[in-house]
Amino acid sequence: MASFLLNRLFQALVTAFGVITLVFFIQRLTGDPTALLLPETATQKDFEAMRQTLGFDRPMIEQYLSFLGDMIRFDLGRSFIQNAPVSEILASRFPQTLQLAGGALLVAFAIGLPVGVIMALTRGRAISRWIMGLVLACQSMPTFWSGIMMILVFGVWLKWLPPSGTGSLAHLVMPSIALGLLSLATYARITRSAVVDELGRDYIRSARARGVRTPRLVRKHLLRNSAIPVISITALEISQLLAGAVIVETVFAWPGLGQLTVQSIASRDFAVVQAVVLLGAWVTILANLTADILYSLVDPRVRLGNQ
């Protein structure tokens, strides 16, 4: 177990290093933010002065080495657009992203799981196909469209929910649904096929033959034994949710990492982009690792280290 963890962490470190290096260089291919920082009337002299202040006049490799030095000291640097330490900015945004991702996962889970089970149990019947169609329809619309429609219907017309922003549980409802719908079909599908697989097994057949009723069967056996694929998909979904949140956060003015990513890339706020990407990489890595550990807890047949 320990050597497995060490090995995985080492690989994660290598991946994170690769990500950060790649991001460092490719974003610098796109120019620097000097033009954005200066007013329209700035002269060439102003530009050079600003470049010097920000350190963009130094050779690329020198910038990279000093950046690596900062990373080793856990110094994420400063945002020259927001004029604040990057760690502070991340600290204010990360909880918002967690809330939204949590809300979305809850939506996807709470609807996707039962729908998947129902589809498995009604397999082969028309109803199953209709439900699947409905689920797929939910993710067949761009979020920038479904988002604004939800705002107009529930925020403007019915006035049930605040149209945008943060501050209360009510604010979380629409963005969570908009984001959760994207994962819903995945959950429903995975659950369905996992349950279908289990249904074909001998122990279920014999339990059925003994007269165990369906709800009990689902509770006692199916859910637990279908958990592995669901867990593994959750690990993938979490990183997807962080990425997919860009548009949802923009539409609902949700101040999470997605919006921060777009704005920092668009303003060439290098330090923030690097930190966000690094954070995202670690979340992905840790989610996958947690999923692996959970497997072994849920299903003792899976041995860590044989991956």
Partner 1 sequence: MASATRYRSRYIAGQLLAWWPAILLGLMVLMAILAPLIAPLDPNRQDLLGRLKLPGYEGRGGTYWLGTDELGRDVLSRMIYGSRVSITVAVLSVLLSGIVGVTVGMLAGYLRGWPETILMRLVDIFLSIPAILLAIITVAVLGPSFFNVILVLALTRWPRYARVAYGQTMSIARRPFVTLARSMGCSVPRALLLHILPNIISPILVVATLEFGLMVLFEAGLSFLGLGVQPPTASWGAMLSTGRNYVTSAWWIATFPGLALFLLVLSANLIGDRVSDIIGKGR
Partner 2 sequence: MKSTLKLLLASVALTTFAMPAFAKDMTVDLSGEPSSLDPQVQWNPDSYYVYRNIFDNLVTRDNEGKIVPQIATSWEQVSDTEMLMTLRDDVIFHDGQKMTAEDVVFSIKRITDPEFGSPQLGQFDQISDAEAVDEVTVKLTTDGPYPALLAQLVKLSVVPKHVVEEVGDDAFNAAPVGSGPYKFTDWNRGVSVTLTRNDDYWGDAGSIETAVFRAVPDAATRLADLQAGAADLVVGLDSDAATQLAGQDDVQLLSAPTERVAYLGMNLDKPPFNDPELRKAASMAIDTVGITEGLLGAGEVSVAQLASPAHFGYAEGIAPWEFDPEAAAEIVSAKADVAATPATFATAPVFDQRIVQALQQMLNDVGFNVSISVTDMPTYLDIVRSDPADNAELSFGRWSCACQDADGIAYPLLHSGSNWSRVNDPKLDELLDTARGSLDTQVRQDAYNQVHQIVRDNYYTLPMYQAAVLYGAASDLTFTPTANESLFLNRMTWSE
- Binding positions for partner 2, rule: CB under 8 A: 30-33, 35-44, 46-47, 49-50, 53-54, 81-85, 88-89, 92-93, 96, 144, 148, 151-152, 155-156, 158-160, 162-166, 250-253, 255-256, 259-260, 263, 266-268
Q: Which is nearer to partner 1, 50 or 119 (CB)?
A: 119
Residue from 171, 281, 292, 295 touching partner 1 (CB under 8 A): that is 281
Radius of gyration for the chain, computed over Cα atoms and rounded to the nearest angstrom: 24
Q: Work out which of 76, 100, 105, 185 binds partner 1, going by CB under 8 A.
A: 185
Cβ proximity to partner 2: between 15 and 164 the closer is 164
Is residue 260 involved in binding partner 1 (CB under 8 A)?
no
- One of 87, 164, 239, 296 touching partner 1 (CB under 8 A): 239
Chain centroid to Cα 279, Å, comes to 11
Task: Name 84's bridge partners.
Answer: 79
CA distance linking residue 218 with residue 210, whole number of Å: 15
Among 144, 201, 205, 208, binds partner 1 (CB under 8 A): 144
Q: How far apart are CA 167 and CA 265, in angstroms?
A: 26
Q: 201 in helix, strand or coil?
A: coil
The correct pick among 276, 291, 292, 295 for binding partner 1 (CB under 8 A) is 276
> Residue 253 binds which entry of partner 1, partner 2, none, with Cβ cut-offs from 5 to 8 Å by kind?
partner 2
Contacts 24+ apart (CB under 8 A), 173-176: 173/103, 174/147, 174/150, 174/252, 175/100, 175/103, 175/104, 175/147, 175/248, 175/249, 175/252, 175/254, 176/100, 176/103, 176/104, 176/106, 176/107
- Say whether residue 297 binds partner 1 (CB under 8 A): no
Residue 267 DSSP one-character state: T
User: Measured between alpha carbons, how far is 70 from 106 in angstroms, rounded to an integer?
Assistant: 37
163 binds partner 1 (CB under 8 A): no
CA distances to 18, 101, 216, 255 from 98, rounded to whole Å, are 25, 5, 34, 11
Of the candidates 253, 192, 272, the one whose C-alpha atom is nearest the C-alpha of residue 27 is 272
Q: Does 132 bind partner 1 (CB under 8 A)?
A: yes
Q: Is 183 in the site for partner 1 (CB under 8 A)?
A: no
Return the residue of 243, 303, 305, 307 that touches partner 1, per CB under 8 A. Answer: 243
Stretch that binds partner 1, among 42-50, 79-87, 137-145, 158-166 (CB under 8 A): 137-145
Residue 54 or 298: which CB sits closer to partner 2? 54
Q: Residue 11, interface with partner 1 (CB under 8 A)?
A: yes
